[in-house]
Amino acid sequence: MSSLAYASRSLAPLLESLGLSSRVTCISGVSSTDSGVYTGFAGSIGGSIGGSIGGSIGGSIGGSIGGSIGSGLPICSISTGTTTSTTNTIYENVDKACIEFDKLKATTGMHRGGLLKSWASHIRQNKKDLATLMTYECGKPLPESLGEVEYGASFLDFYASECLRPNGLGGGTLIPTPFVQPPSAKNSRGTAMTYNEAVGVCGFITPWNFPLAMITRKVGPAIAAGCTSLVKPSELTPLTAMALEVLAR
C-alpha cells in the first residue's frame, strides 16, 4: 500500500484513506484543531472483535464511537449485527484461525519474518493517518500517537529478527543435561536438544490507552512462532485495530 495523503485531517477522508469507509459511517464532520493536537477522550462504543491471522488480523466490531474532540458526542458508527450473529461470527473466526494455523506453522521462520517486516513497513507508510485516527479515538495528543505508531512497528521489527535465530527456525538448541553420571561412566554427561514449536491459536485482549502498540506487541511474537491470533481490542478504541487489519492484509 502506498503512503497515504495527509492533506486533510477530517474524519471521513481519514477513514476512506485507511480503507474503513465501507465499515464505518461518519456521523459529523469532525476536523482537527489548527495545532494538530486533539484533547479529550473520544467517548465509548459497544462491541467485540474476533479475527484470524494467517498474515492478517480480522474481525467484526459493533457499536458507535464518540467524541467530537472531547465533546462526548458520537462521531461515527460501526456496522454490526445482533448479539447472536456477532457470537456466531466469533466462532467462525476461531474455526478459520484453526485452519490458518496449520498453514502458518508449516512455513519457515524467514517467511514469517517477511510477513512481519511487510506489516511494519505498511504501518510506517501510513504513520500520520494512523496517529490521527488514534487521537480521534482516545484523545491522546498527536505527537504521542505518532510516537506510538513507531513504537508499535518496532515490535514487529524485533520479532521479525527473532524468526531468524536458530531456535526460531526450528533447528533446536543443544544444552548439557542436568544428569551427572558416575565418574567412571564412559559418557559422564550427555546433551539434550530443545526446540520451539507453534502450539495453536492465540487469543489477545488489548487496552484502550495503547490501541496500536499492544496489538503488535502481542500478535508479533505469535506470528513469529507460527501461531494465528484472535484479537479483541478495547470497545473504546476499535478503529485503530480495524486499520491495522487492513494494513496487515
pLDDT tens-digit map of 26-62:
665 444 333 332 333 333 332 223 333 333 333 333 3
Report the distance separating Cα 31 and Cα 25, nearest Å.
Answer: 15
Residue that the C-alpha cell 467530537 belongs to:
68
User: Which pLDDT score, from 0 to 100, does residue 207 have?
Assistant: 93
205 three-state secondary structure: strand
The span from the first CA to the last CA of the chain, in angstroms, equals 10
Report the distance separating Cα 101 and Cα 166, nearest Å.
Answer: 21
Report the distance separating Cα 8 and Cα 25, nearest Å.
Answer: 17
Report the distance separating Cα 115 and Cα 164, nearest Å.
Answer: 13
Residue 104 has pLDDT above 70, yes or no: yes
Among candidates 137, 131, 132, 134, which has minimal Cα distance to 42?
A: 137
Residue 222 has pLDDT above 60, yes or no: yes
Averaged pLDDT, 116-144: 92
Task: Tell me the one-letter amino acid at 94.
Answer: V
Q: How many residues does the chain have?
A: 249
Among candidates 29, 30, 26, 32, which has minimal Cα distance to 64?
A: 26
The answer to pTM > 0.75 is: no
User: Which pLDDT score, from 0 to 100, does residue 188 have?
Assistant: 57
Contacts of 83 (CB under 8 A, 6+ apart): none
Residue 235 has pLDDT above 80, yes or no: yes
Strand partners, 203: 230
Mind listing the pLDDT tens digit for each residue in 83-93? 555 677 888 88
The answer to whether the Cα torsion of 22, 28, 33, 37 is positive or negative is negative
User: Which pLDDT score, from 0 to 100, does residue 23 have?
Assistant: 76
